Amino acid sequence: MVQATGKDPAAQSAAGCAASQGGGRETARRAKTRERLMDAAYRIFSEQGINGASIETITDEAGFTRGAFYSNFASKTELFFALTERENRTRLERLRQRFDSVVEPLGRTRDKPSREFFEGVIADLLSTQPDTRQWCLMLGEFRLLAMRDPEVAPRFLESARTFRQQLAELLEATARSLGLRFVIDSVHLTRLLIDQYESAMQETILSGAADPENATRETIMHTLPTLLHSLTEVVDSSAEAGANSAEA
């Protein structure tokens, strides 16, 4: 004889679905709260610095309470790291999408592209990176924070290494799709490119340029196309085929 449990299976299933949906809504709300806090922090940190910005200023800007802040981030430093990681992901994804839509369809080349080719590609890619002034100020804050706080420094270095590695892999894959390769290690090349880009951003901000984005692009266009052109060569397709055959 089966003993009654007093529980309706259908009711249990419905309750489970409701709980699952409720959990999903809560997760979505939490994600939106985090995004709004990071959006507000981006504006505040870039203008006031991490030490000058209070949690109250950030939460007021985002339209939340201190409780909402601490339910998502343990400290301003944690928020700062989350924000920087988000911005790195966003900027890298913009570049990846642009490479996919503009560069890769060009196909492999038998001759080394001209400097003008690299000018066109770089100009197009730079158009995907807005907020030059704010981002430069954020990077400056990040470095100062890491240099002043030995506990932050290792995380800063790891974050920078990860971004360089991911960007280097993207650049290398894109060059390969064009039948090109770099004559130096792709990570070293990426460091050179990043240094040139950040130096141009700093120069335009310090000069008081009315349009930092455009001024940064103009400065970069004097150096990056030449740098990439000189450090890129065409892959010998016959040698590559022979190497692949030998490996097989």
* Domain architecture of the chain: domains with CATH: 15-73 (1.10.10.60), 76-237 (1.10.357)
Tokens representing residue 159 in the block: 């974050």
Residue 86 corresponds to which tokens in the numbers above? 């988000």
Neighbouring CB atoms inside 10 A of 111's CB total 7
Higher pLDDT, 236 or 3: 236
Choice between 185 and 133, residue whose per-residue pLDDT is larger: 185
Tell me how far CA of residue 227 lies from CA of 104, 115, 182, 190, 221, in angstroms.
21, 9, 11, 11, 10
**Residues 214-226: pLDDT tens digits?**
888 889 999 999 9
pTM: 0.79
Amino acid symbol at 84: T
Gap between the Cα atoms of 22 and 10, Å rounded: 18
Q: Which residues, in sequence order, are CB contacts of 183 under 8 Å at separation 6+?
A: 231, 232, 233
Cβ-in-10-Å burial (0-12, 13-18, 19+) of 12 comes to exposed
The secondary structure of residue 173, as a DSSP letter, is H
Residue 18, pLDDT > 90, answer no
What average pLDDT does this structure show over 227-243? Answer: 76
What digits encode the pLDDT tens for the residues 25-44?
A: 778 899 999 999 999 999 99
Backbone angles phi, psi at 184, to 5 degrees: -125, 170
CA-based Rg of the chain, rounded to a whole angstrom?
24
- Beta-carbon contacts of 129 under 8 Å, excluding residues fewer than 6 positions away, are 91, 94, 95, 135
99-150 pLDDT, tens digit each: 888 776 777 878 888 999 899 888 888 887 777 788 889 999 999 999 999 9
Query: With pLDDT > 70 as the criterion, what percentage of the chain qualifies?
Result: 85
Supply the angle between the helices 9-52 and 132-148 in degrees, to the nearest 10. Answer: 80
Tell me, what's the pLDDT at 8? 60
Quote the CA–CA distance of 86 and 91 in Å, as a whole number: 9
CB 217 within 8 A of CB 126: yes
238 pLDDT more than 80:
no
